[in-house]
Amino acid sequence: MLNKKVSDLLNEQINKELYSAYLYLDMNNYFDKRGLNGFANWYMIQAQEERDHAMLIYKYMQNNDCPITLGAIAKPDKKFKKDMDVLKAGLEHEEYVTASIHTIYEAAYKAKDFRTMQFLDWFVKEQGEEETNARDMITKMELFGADAKSLYMLNSELAARTYSAPSLVLD
C-alpha cells in the first residue's frame, strides 16, 4: 500500500488527466470548426496522451493495491475567441499539470516512497516535453499565424503528427 497522502494525490491526478483529455477534445473541436485540421489533429493526439496518462496512474495504483476513487470530470470552461487563446490555454494547463505532478513527487519524497518517485520520473520528463511543445506552438503561431500561406504550412505540419502510446512497464 502507498502512503495515504500519496495515494489521495494520485487519485486526484487520474481525474486531472481525464479532465485534460476533455479540455484537449474541446480544443480539437474549436480547430475542427475553424477548418484547421492539423491543429485539430494535434489536440486530438494530446487528448489521447492525457487519457493514457490517467490509465498509467490507474494501473500503477491497482498494481500497488491502492483504492481508486473516480470523481466526476468537470466540463471544460474555457471560451476561445481566437486561435492564440487556445494555444495559450494549452500552455497554462500544462504548467498546472506539471505543478500537480511536482506536488505528488514532493509528497512521495516526504513519505520515502521511492517506488512512486521512480514511477513519477517519467511524468516529470513528459511534462517538460509538453510545456516545450506548447511554447513552440505559441512561438510558431506568433511568427507565422498572421500569414495565410504560413498558417497553411503550420497546419500541414501539425496534421502529420501521429500518436505513440507510452510504453512504461508497470509493476
Q: What is the pLDDT of residue 164?
A: 85
- Cα–Cα distance between 43 and 24 in angstroms, integer? 5
CB 6 within 8 A of CB 108: yes
Domain 4-159 CATH assignment equals 1.20.1260.10: yes
The string of pLDDT tens digits covering residues 76-90 is 998 999 999 999 999
Segments making up each domain of the chain, as ranges: 4-159
Closest C-alpha to 61, from 109, 129, 7: 7
**Global pTM?**
0.93
Q: pLDDT tens digits, residue range 50-71?
A: 999 999 999 999 999 999 999 9
